[in-house]
Amino acid sequence: MSLRFVSVAADVSRETPGILGGARLGSGPLEDAWTWPMQAIPAPLLASPAETVEEYWLAAGQLRSGETDSLRWQRNDEVLFGVITLNEADFSEAAKVEGKTALQLASQTAYTHIFELIDREGLPKLWRIWNYLADINQEVGEASGLERYRQFNIGRQDAFLASQRCATGNVPAACAIGLRSGPLSIAFLAGANAPVPVENPRQVSAYHYPATYGPRSPTFSRGALVYPAGQEILFISGTASIVGHQTVHPADPQRQCRETMENIAAVVREANRLCRSTPFAVPDMHYRVYVRRAQDLDAIRQSLLPLIGEVPVIYVEADICRADLLLEIEAMASHPLEEGS
């Protein structure tokens, strides 16, 4: 396979060959000298003996890297991984002049830099995006009454439209997660070929949400199938207890967990209708679970275990994009693809 995912509870040697980039989850001390793009996610790990976990994408072939506009990236011939980190405070004055919030302008700027990079590198199709921002549910800053997640959505969509990219339909898989503090951090995978978007028949597509959820709809698909050489990868976006466009089972972590997994199962079924490799299965995926309240962890784990079995799961304490959601689950799996498929 040309792209391989690895998750380890230890620092990886800088001499490890083929590291395209990755993420470091947990609240332990940060390494300051990675030689590849690395997204730092300083959120507490739950149910883990380790303070930190590092996840990596390993790529075949010769790698080339660069850094510009606060964006570090690395690529081979067919896929690019990058991380951009921006401090909102740096955008406060310009945002006032433009009549925007600092987060809105930072989000727009981050995505603009991403699009400029992938266009320049000839790998213009976003496959998967990981967004992290502080205080995601708070109504703070210059836009009184407008939740920060909604501010982020405005900036993100402005960049999509300004770069003449679709904000509906063929859009990447993504998540948007809240941390206690820190900068806006966005990691992404991009390639030459467009992803095959996967939607969920049980849910309204996020980009078609009604205006009650904000001035701009979120710009992501429920999942995406992507095709590095000889490979088919299914990315399932951050998924929660939403049916149609409404949150269900508020204040009940176990029922929210089961509903979330019903949604993931629906995305897997839809992906299998579209896929070119062997069918994907819910128990055969890598999972990351974001838990709003640490005290809900046991209830969530008890609900999840019968549905996915003993597969490794990383639990992270973090906020979800809606204040009434108690958890969010994302997943991915990779299959070899026979020549000619």
> What is the average pLDDT value for the chain, to the nearest integer?
95
- Mind listing the pLDDT tens digit for each residue in 182-199? 999 999 999 999 999 999
Catalytic residues: 328
Mean pLDDT in residue range 228-248: 98
- Which residue has 């990779």 as its token pair? 334
10 Å CB burial of residue 316 (0-12, 13-18, 19+) is buried
pLDDT higher than 80, residue 253:
yes
pLDDT higher than 60, residue 25:
yes
Of 162, 156, 77, the C-alpha closest to 123 is 77
Instruction: Determine phi and psi for 323, rounding to 5 degrees.
Output: -65, -25
> Are 20 and 36 spatial neighbours (Cβ–Cβ below 8 Å)?
yes
The Cα–Cα gap between 148 and 181 comes to 13
pLDDT higher than 80, residue 224:
yes
Q: How confident is the model at residue 144 (pLDDT cuts 50, 70, 90)?
A: low
Say what the pLDDT of residue 16 is.
Answer: 78
pLDDT higher than 90, residue 141:
no
Query: Any idea which of 14-23, 165-174, 282-291 has the lowest mean pLDDT?
Result: 14-23
Determine the 3-state secondary structure of 110 from DSSP: helix
∠ at Cα 168 (98, 161), nearest 5°? 30
User: The whole model's pTM is what?
Assistant: 0.96
pLDDT higher than 90, residue 28:
no
Q: What percent of the chain has pLDDT over 90?
A: 88
- Mind listing the pLDDT tens digit for each residue in 168-185? 999 999 999 999 999 999
Domains and CATH numbers, the chain: 3-336 (3.30.1330.40)
